[in-house]
Amino acid sequence: MDKGYQTLIRLHQYHVDEKRRALGNLLGQVANLENQSSELENQILVEQDVARSAPENVGMFYGDYAAAAVQKLSDLTQAITKVESHITVAQDEMRTEYKDLKVYEISQETIDTAEKKERDRQETAFLDELGQEAYRRKG
């Protein structure tokens, strides 16, 4: 294998791995934000039940809580949208890097195949020459 292609292939494999890790981190962030959103929605339901059960004690504070919770949900939704846009960019970058890696791998395979054919041709020529020489000596 040509040393230059080995280096390029390793370099691009490293880049693909880096892009994959970054994409994984972004996907983890989205999952975390979605979990926070889900937990907040559940907490809102619990607080609604508490406010209904004791409207004179807690009910008067629920309005402020609900407004803050809705704002927090909105913020989480915006954050998810922002991270998802980063995910799209990261996926495109990873695809591009992977495509570049494949170009080098295919080029190396083509070179390896051509070199093998040449070695096989030389070996066949050498064996043919040996056979002819043996026939001449015998005859």
In angstroms, rounded to a whole number, what is the distance separating the alpha carbons of residues 62 and 51? 6
Report which DSSP code applies to 1: -
pTM reported for the whole predicted model: 0.74
Q: Does 13 have pLDDT greater than 80? A: yes
Residue 57, pLDDT score: 78
- 119 vs 125: CA distance, rounded Å: 10
Confidence of residue 135 (pLDDT cuts 50, 70, 90): confident
Note the pLDDT of residue 1.
Answer: 45
Give per-residue pLDDT as tens, 30-40: 999 999 999 99
pLDDT tens for each residue of 15-31:
999 999 999 999 999 99
Single-letter amino acid code for the residue at 125? A
pLDDT digits (tens, 9 = 90+) for 71-124: 999 999 999 999 999 999 999 999 999 999 999 999 999 999 999 999 999 999
Among 120, 116, 101, CA closest to 8: 101
